[in-house]
Structure 1
Amino acid sequence: MLKGKIAIVSGAAQGLGEAFARRLAHEGATVLAFDVQDKIKDVATKIAAETGSKVVGMKADVSKRADVEKVVAAAADLGGIDILVNNAGTWKKTPVDTSWDQAVADWDFIMDTNFKGVLMLTRASVPHMKARGGDIVNISTYYVMPARSDGTNQPDTDLYNASKWALNGFTDSWAKALEEFNIRVNALCMGATDTPMLRGLFPDKQLPADMASVVMKPEQIAQQMIDLFKDGRTGENIGAWVGYPVELGPRKAAHKRISGVA
């Protein structure tokens, strides 16, 4: 499906990012996969061997402008940019009663990656996409969708929550601004998915048995991404909830795309 296309995936050394990179490569795309972790080059080499597609691994930090510019330049050297997956993200508890200094440090830690990084990587990529069209996918959370269970928007993660709600503005505005260039912009908003980030919340990084049996798999979300490319819609938050089929669902009216209201 994607033969001849060139994709950038941030945060691709593990979890969802690795699954996105692997599925894009499986579909025939050339993939530039980057991450702050040293193992990204080994991951890229493994994906290339498994899929037969070209996969370039780069160590880079999406929160640093110089690194973003190097990543985009490297992708352009591969022939252009058709797909951008803004997957890199970070999480930590940020209770509202922490000290002033801690709150500001936590803001920088989370927002530099989850929000400013998305801004910089997308702004740098769009000039290379305008003549080609393509897809931009922002990786968000089911927190921004209508709740189907308890536990959304945890009170001790205000900054993580805020970073993902803020992505709504990017997704909505960019979809409208870039539609004339045939660039589609959407967000994937999933609930509990079996990733290192989720496992890191539990002792020994082991999911509780009742959770392990129901959480979604990164491969399911990667398939949802491919389905989204085939569908061609733009400007939507696409939800995925534990216990429900992982699917696109019907297209929403323009005024309901980001809110997710049925």
Structure 2
Amino acid sequence: MSDTTAPNGRSALVTGAAGGIGRAVALRLARAGYDVTINYSRSKERAEATLKEMQQYPGHHQAVRADVSDDAAVRELARIAADASGSLDILVNNAGTTSETPPDDLDGIDLADWDRVFEVNVRGLVQVTRACAPALRAGRGSVVNVASIVGLRPGPQPLAYAASKAAVVSLTKTLSRVLAPQVRVNAVAPGWIAGEWMERTLGDNYDKLMERRARMTPLARNVTLEDVAESVHTMATAHPFVTGEVIVIDGGYTATT
């Protein structure tokens, strides 16, 4: 697949990019020619490994530690990301966390866990977007939020996580109005992604349930990190008259079951 190389000075910020979706998105944007700032909270070694991978592509790439629930840290992150040019072309709000409470265990919800999930997944998204808004407006940029299929329909995820991703879907629509007309705001909602996140979610049933999911998916496989990264890149860099939309990435599973 060919790339459209970004002009010099085009920049992107990807939160929660030490591994998983964030890492895949950061690599995709670096390959497309963007100067990419990746953010991490605790996973310094993984972030450094991702940064090393990104450095195979030309550009100024950097890793910045910041807890997205800390507004002061977020404002400094935004300043660093936009420092070189004073503008920001792409913001990918990917930072997220979950709780360990089983999805059907209403009585077992730990309210401290609930608050932490919302601090990162919802308040963090708002704080990062708000801090980056001046630079995004200056660059007539684009925001892509990483939601989840469980923000749109029930699934095997803890209640706090599912509710937080539903909030991400709502915020995507609201922020598309707030930041218009200079900035587009869209979201991606991945289905079951093969890998460690779903391994933790499904436990011992991972192989059996993922195989069943693939059989029931029209495109006959499960989502990969690269699938999500490609969709994020496309939503951020193309479709100039699309905003406030949520793109489901699940090979047609949701549409047909």
With normalisation by structure 2, the TM-score equals: 0.83
* Superimposed CA distance per residue, residues 3-36 of structure 1 (whole angstroms, 9 cap, x where no aligned partner): 3311100110111000000000000000000112
- CA-to-aligned-CA distance 1:217-260 (integer Å, 9 cap, x gap): 11111111222221221110111114569xxxxxxxxxxxxxx9
Match of 2:239 in 1: 231
* Unmatched runs of 5 consecutive residues or more in structure 1: 246-259
Q: Distance in 1 between matches of 2:202 and 2:245?
A: 32
| Structure 1 residue 142: Cα displacement | 1.3
1:41 and 1:58 in contact (8 A); partners too: no
- Return the letter of the residue paired with 1:231: H
Give SS of 1:179's match: coil
What does 1:60-209 align with in structure 2 at a 5 Å threshold?
Answer: 60-79=66-85, 80-94=87-101, 95-98=105-108, 103-145=110-152, 152-154=154-156, 157-181=158-182, 183-201=183-201, 207-208=206-207
**Residue 16 (str. 1) matches residue 16 (str. 2):** no
**Counterpart AA for 2:166:** W
Quote the Cα distance in structure 1 between the aligned partners of 2:49 and 2:88: 23
Kindly state the Cα deviation for residue 124 of structure 1 after the two structures are TM-superposed: 0.3
> How many angstroms apart in 1 are the aligned matches of 2:247 and 2:202?
27
Moved more, 65-74 or 5-14: 65-74
Matching residue's letter, 2:173: D
Total equivalences in the alignment? 234
- Using the alignment, how far apart are the partners of 1:107 and 1:92 within structure 2? 7
Change (3 A) 1:128 1:238: same
8 Å Cα contact 1:14/1:196 also seen in 2: no
Structure 2 gap ranges (5+)? 215-220
Contact 1:13 1:34 in 2 (8 A): yes
Deviation at 1:168, TM superposition (A): 2.4
In structure 2, the residue matched to 1:251 is none
Moved over 4 A (4+): 242-245
Give the AA of the match of 1:230. A
CA distance in structure 1 between the aligned counterparts of 2:60 and 2:209, rounded to whole angstroms: 39
CA RMSD of aligned residues (A): 2.3
